[in-house]
Amino acid sequence: MDDLLIRGATLYDGSGADPLRADVAVRDGRIRAIGASLPIDARQVVDAGDLALMPGIIDSHTHFDAQLTWDPYVRPSPSLGVTTAVIGNCGFTIAPCRPQDRELTMRNLTQVEGMSFEVLKRGITWEFETFAEYLAQLRGRGCAVNLAAYVGHSSLRTWVMGAEANRRAATQAEIAQMAALVREAMDAGAVGFASSTSPAHNGDGGVPMPSRLASDDEHLALIEAMGAGGRGVYMVTKGAQMPVALLEEMAARSGRPVMIAALLHNGTNPGAVFADLAAISAANTRGRRLIGQVSCCPLTMEYTLASPYPVEGLASWKRALGKQGAALETVLADPQFRQGVRDELAAASAFRLFNGEWDKVHVVEVAQERHRELEQRSIAELAQRAGKDPLDVMLDLALDEDLTTIFTAQLLNSDEEAVARLLNHPHSLVSLSDAGAHLTFFNDAGFGLHLMGHWVRDRAAMGLPEAVRRLTHQSAEIFGLANRGLLREGFAADLLLFDPKTVGRAVSRRVFDLPGGAPRLHTDALGVHGVWVNGELVSDANGLRTDGQLAGQVITEFAH
Region binding Zn ion by CB under 5 A among candidate stretches 46-54, 90-98, 152-160, 205-213: 90-98
CB of 162 to Zn ion, least distance (A): 24
CA distance 125 to 343: 49
The helix-helix angle for 325-333 and 335-346 (nearest 10°) equals: 60
* 154 vs 408 by CB, closer to Zn ion: 154
Told to check if 435 binds Zn ion by CB under 5 A, we report: no
Segment lying near Zn ion (by CB under 5 A), choices 70-78, 83-91, 340-348, 529-537: 83-91
261-320 residues in contact with Zn ion (CB under 5 A) are none
Q: From CA 393, how far away is CA 395, in angstroms rounded?
A: 6
Q: What angle in degrees, to the nearest 10, is found between the helix axes of 335-346 and 390-400?
A: 140
Nearer to Zn ion (CB atom), residue 63 or residue 362: 63
DSSP for residue 453 = I
Site string (32-71) toward Zn ion, x via CB under 5 A:
----------------------------------------
Question: Within a 10 A sphere around the Cβ of 17, how many other Cβ atoms?
Answer: 12
The nearer residue to Zn ion, 89 or 304, going by C-beta atoms, is 89
Which of 195/408 has CB closer to Zn ion? 195
Pick the piece of the chain touching Zn ion (CB under 5 A) from 8-16, 43-51, 87-95, 317-325.
87-95
What sign does the CA torsion over 539, 545, 551, 552 have? positive
**Strand ranges for 77-188 from DSSP E:** 82-87, 146-152
Q: Minimum distance from CB of 110 to Zn ion (Å)?
A: 15
By CB under 5 A, name the one of 42, 90, 178, 422 that touches Zn ion: 90
Q: Kindly identify the residues of this chain, within the stretch 199-238, that bind Zn ion according to CB under 5 A.
A: none
The span of 24-32, 36-44, 85-93, 411-419 binding Zn ion (CB under 5 A) equals 85-93
Tell me the closest approach of the beta carbon of residue 63 to Zn ion, in angstroms. Answer: 6
Residue closer to Zn ion, measured from CB, 250 or 259: 259
* β-strands 233-237, 258-263 pairing: parallel
Write down the least CB distance from residue 194 to Zn ion, Å: 9
* 428-430, strands of its sheet edge to edge: 57-59, 82-87, 146-152, 192-196, 233-237, 258-263, 290-294, 428-430
CB 472, min distance to Zn ion, A: 21
On the 0-12 / 13-18 / 19+ scale of CB atoms within 10 A, 242 is: middle
**Using CA of residue 92, residue 95, residue 96, residue 100, what is the dihedral sign?**
positive
Which region among 82-90, 116-124, 354-362, 507-515 touches Zn ion (by CB under 5 A)? 82-90
Alpha-carbon distance of 133 to 120, in angstroms, equals 19
Q: What's the closest the beta carbon of residue 210 comes to Zn ion, in angstroms?
A: 15
57/109 with CB nearer Zn ion: 109
Q: How many CB atoms lie within 10 A of CB 107?
A: 16
**Beta carbon nearer to Zn ion, 90 or 149:** 90
Q: For 487, phi and psi rounded to 5 degrees?
A: -90, 100
> For residues 149 and 345, which CB has a smaller minimum distance to Zn ion in the complex?
149
Least distance from Zn ion to the Cβ atom of residue 198, Å? 9
Nearer to Zn ion, 83 or 89 (CB): 89
Q: Min. distance of Cβ 97 from Zn ion in angstroms?
A: 18
> Rounded to the nearest whole angstrom, what is the least distance from the CB of residue 91 to Zn ion in the complex?
9
In the chain, how many H helices and how many E strands?
Answer: 16, 24
Q: Which is nearer to Zn ion, 89 or 440 (CB)?
A: 89
Which CB sits closer to Zn ion, 9 or 112? 112
CB 170 within 8 A of CB 211: no
Beta carbon nearer to Zn ion, 212 or 338: 212
Element (H, E) at 495: strand 495-498
- What is the distance, to the nearest Å, from the Cα of residue 248 to the centroid of all Cα atoms in its chain? 24
Q: Which of 67, 69, 89, 304 binds Zn ion (CB under 5 A)?
A: 89
> For Zn ion, how many residues bind (rule: CB under 5 A)?
2
Stretch of 86-94, 114-122, 301-309, 350-358 lying at the interface with Zn ion (CB under 5 A): 86-94
Q: Which is nearer to Zn ion, 89 or 534 (CB)?
A: 89
Stretch in the footprint of Zn ion (CB under 5 A) among 23-31, 81-89, 286-294, 450-458: 81-89
Question: E-assigned strands of 29-159?
Answer: 30-35, 42-47, 52-55, 57-59, 82-87, 146-152
Q: What distance in Å separates the CA atoms of residue 522 and residue 69, rounded to the nearest whole number?
A: 19
d(CA 542, CA 340): 50
Stretch that binds Zn ion, among 84-92, 94-102, 317-325, 538-546 (CB under 5 A): 84-92
Sole window of 88-96, 167-175, 178-186, 336-344 interacting with Zn ion (rule: CB under 5 A): 88-96
C-beta nearest to Zn ion: residue: 90
CA distances from 331 to 101, 308, 334 (A): 39, 14, 5
CA-to-CA distance for 338 and 349, rounded, in angstroms?
A: 19
Can you give the length of the chain in residues? 560
Positions that interact with Zn ion (CB under 5 A): 89-90
